[in-house]
Structure 1
Amino acid sequence: MRDPKEWFEGRPRVMFVHAHPDDETITTGGTLAALAEAGLEPLLVTLTRGERGEVVAGPLEALVAAHGLAVARQNELRTALGMLGVERHAFLGVEPARAEGLSPTIYEDSGMSWGEDGRARAGADAGPDALTSVPAVEPLHDLLAAAYLAGAQAIVSYADDGGYGHPDHVLAHRLARAVAQALELPFWAIAGDGASDTGAADAVGATEALEVHDIGDWFDRKVAALRAHATQLTVDGDDIVHVGGQREPIGRAEGFRRLA
């Protein structure tokens, strides 16, 4: 297994762009933990607080009813990042992920619905403060400021379909890739475990650009961080059980495909 310092072509400052709390752990938790342990201080930017997610049935429902899902998910994210060893985090719209001269703002979860094909699609009731409702230039400038201030040397986010179609994920890809192009930085799209990569349609055939990280040494940290996101999922053995009942194995490898 390669040293984490060699991942992403040895670029020491990588910015990860994720849509909601828990996304960072599910798809990139082991990589984040490895980079943090190596002293490379990855930066995580979370675009929303996941206000419109469902809640796992049980005692946490009362907590969420009392304090709101946004508060609960922010606390879960803080705990998860502690498990991963990640210290550099910002919500988009708040310094250091806010364009200079603008007051702090909150980009809200856009929500989604499930299509007949089993993939997510945009919901019809996104509010005016939702990430996908505000003019895209505003979050774009915020993310550009975050990358510039952090001295980012590479950017990681989703493939062009957002992984499973969620509108916030799709916009995260577009924003992150636009920032990478503006700053002439390499961009890596998350590719699951690297075994299949249906999202990066624009990179078909570029198998040499696929980078797969064996995160076995950091698997336990990833599992601990997943358990922190208790309103959204449960850990059952080596599987994640999502709030909607969907199951997926916890990845012991994390794949990334370079698109630019």
Structure 2
Amino acid sequence: MEHTLNNAFVTEVRRYEETDYCHSHAHHQIILPLCGSLELQVDGRSGKACALQGAIVPGNSRHTFRGVGNNQFVVVDLPIPLKADYWSDDLRRFLETPNFFGLDPGLYHYTQLVGAESCRHLPDSKFSIMLAEMLAELLAQRHSTAKAIRPTRRLGPALEYIGSHVDQRISVSKLAALSYLSIGRFHSAFREYTGCTPGQYITELRMQRGLALLQETAWPVSRVAAAVGYSSQAGFTHAFNRHFGFPPSRYHRQADTRTQRESSP
């Protein structure tokens, strides 16, 4: 079925200022984190888009928001109304209620792909829209039950702690205490909310932060390793290679090659 592109359907990477803003807009919005955090209050419901947690802002909902530190998000604006013969019932239900939801590692990887491709294309290009359509439907499918989309308030402090202490040793007992849960109950709640264990979540976040630093800075690998919680370069290199299938040094070789090309007459 041919899809007629709507001007309200936009996919782009955005940064938010550390200033309070309040408005509403006539389109649904999905906010997905790449780095940093965004404080939100939507129709009286407060939360954050941060680490591996996204947010839904339904169309015409009054909301306040404020960026925190260096931040970057994939933002998908979807038109109102969503065509019943094109979009799934799961997606329409997913977008109707303000919500803060967990991202499993697979969805986070796909979010990064959408973000990277959105930077190469116009926000309302057919290619950007195609990627965002798939992302929106995947999110709705993963969070299609009422139990899954209900925000887990107790995990909020633990998720914020992980995001702000990724360069330090993080113990599950500390996270459980922040959530006022036993370690066993915390493990169960965390896995239900994010789709992965606390250890997998922390590793994923460290790898993605490390990858971003390698891409965006000229830091040596040892400094990147320390910035994401590894006490040795060797330990970080081993984890990075196992996670992505290539060593972190690849980015330094690519940076050197670009520098040589740029300096050539």
TM bin (shorter chain): under 0.3
Whose helix proportion is higher, 1 or 2? 2
* Max Rg structure: 2
Normalising by structure 1, we get a TM-score of 0.26
Normalising by structure 2, we get a TM-score of 0.26
Q: Which has the higher contact order (CA 8 A, sep 6+)?
A: 1
